[in-house]
Amino acid sequence: MLQKVDMAIKQKDSQHIDFLNKEDFDVETMLSVLRNHEYTGDVPFKDFADEIMSIVSNQEIQWLRRNKPENVVDYLVYRYKFKKYPSMRKLEKFPLHLLIEPTSICNLRCIMCFQSDSSFHTSEYMGMIDFGFFRELVDQAVENNCKAMTLASRGEPTLHKNFGDMLSYCKDKFFELKINTNATVLTEDMCYEILDTGVDIVVFSIDSCCREEYERIRKGGRFEQVVENIRRFSRIREAYPEYRKTATRISGVYFMSSQSKEKFLNFWSGLVDAVVYNDAVPRWDSYNNTPLSYDKLCSLLWERMYVWYDGTCNPCDFDYKSKLKVGDAKKTLLKDIWLGEPYSKYRNMFLHGKREYLTPCNKCNIY
């Protein structure tokens, strides 16, 4: 393992997001709204009503404030499935969350990221998705009633020349359309493209609130430029009521004792809706990590699928070189990959306590 982290790696629940700014909601009002809406879904009303406290966090509260009341019940049922089905080992016929990478290329070399692994930067792993192929993937997600789409994974999505077209193609097709960006090339035109599309969540990946620390972590980034880009995005969003559907989040990786959660929250909370500091996942050199001595199941196998630019499908991006490839979306439908033999094999290995035999799962702290 590369010596880049001076804090202990902790086991990390994939369903937990450490929001530094907490939002409250009225449980009784929420239940009243649910009871007054017609519901014909496949989850018993009582199941998700009883679990409302564990379903609703900052993310759900912000969505509910920004979207149409008639979608509340269906949205909360989706969030119930997303948060509860993986731990119940209940498998839907299609991923609850589909993540498509526009590109594996990134313009930064963050020290806690696999982009700092020089062996990753070869023609075998680098590329941009074809826009026609992207549309086919989105169509499959819609046909299979997928409610959540993220445009991001191993690279910086805004580097793709058709990124704006991708956003437009996804418009009004998902409950949660999310993008993750380092905000380094977030131009004014791109701000309008994102907001015109009605992207539900924009996550700005930033780990510090001071220039020296930021530029030490996110190699190649310029702190002042990133701050100004986010300020501009915030100004544009606030200037037009129709743009306020989009929620914004700063998401940092917490992995050095010098990082201050309090200062981080105070600096960024005035510019975005939510501020998150996530404990590190040791993905800067996944394959050479020391094996971990725990055998918890990984919820991601029941929750999501990643599709790389070239069609490779993978259970997660900790395995950034696709050692656990589950299929090729250019040859096989996504729903068939999700229910196919490789995925089933990995799920069964976890269920039978054989995580230690799967690399790099045996070197990952996510469960």
- Please indicate whether residue 59 or residue 141 has the higher confidence score (pLDDT): 141
Sign of CA dihedral 324, 328, 329, 333: negative
pLDDT tens digit sequence for 162-184: 999 999 999 999 999 999 999 99
**pLDDT exceeds cutoff 70 at 3:** no
pLDDT tens digit sequence for 289-342: 999 887 889 999 999 999 999 999 999 999 999 999 999 999 999 999 999 999
**In contact, 226 and 272? CB cutoff 8 Å:** no
Beta strands in the chain (DSSP E): 97-100, 109-110, 148-151, 176-181, 201-205, 218-219, 247-254, 274-279, 304-307, 312-314, 327-328
> Which of 93, 72, 249 lies closest to 175 in space, CA to CA?
72
**In contact, 217 and 193? CB cutoff 8 Å:** no
> Which of 162, 20, 201, 184 lies closest to 110 in space, CA to CA?
184
Q: What is the mean pLDDT of residues 142-160?
A: 98
What is the three-class DSSP state of 324?
coil
pTM: 0.91
DSSP code per residue over 122-139: STTT--B--HHHHHHHHH
Please report, for residues 55, 59, 129, 152, 245, the alpha-carbon distance to residue 15 in angstroms, rounded to integers and kept in the order given.
10, 12, 28, 18, 23
Contacts by 231-237, CB closer than 8 A, 24 or more apart: 231/271, 232/186, 232/188, 232/191, 233/183, 233/186, 233/191, 233/194, 233/202, 234/271, 234/272, 236/188, 236/191, 236/192, 236/195, 237/191, 237/195
| CB-based burial, 37-56: b 16+ in 10 Å, e otherwise | eebeeebeeeebbebbeebb
Would you give the DSSP letter of residue 301?
G
Q: Residue 71's pLDDT band (boundaries 50, 70, 90)?
A: confident
- Describe the strand order of the beta sheet including 247-254 as a list of residue ranges: 274-279, 247-254, 201-205, 176-181, 148-151, 97-100, 304-307, 312-314, 327-328
Average pLDDT, the chain: 91
| First CA to last CA distance, the chain | 20
Please report, for residues 66, 162, 179, the alpha-carbon distance to residue 198 in angstroms, rounded to integers and kept in the order given.
11, 17, 11
What is the three-class DSSP state of 202?
strand
Q: What is the mean pLDDT of residues 262-289?
A: 92
The pLDDT of residue 2:
39
- Please indicate whether residue 143 or residue 48 has the higher confidence score (pLDDT): 143
**pLDDT exceeds cutoff 70 at 12:** no
The pLDDT of residue 161:
97
pLDDT tens digit sequence for 72-97: 888 988 999 999 999 999 999 999 99
**pLDDT exceeds cutoff 70 at 5:** no
Q: Residue 346's pLDDT band (boundaries 50, 70, 90)?
A: very high
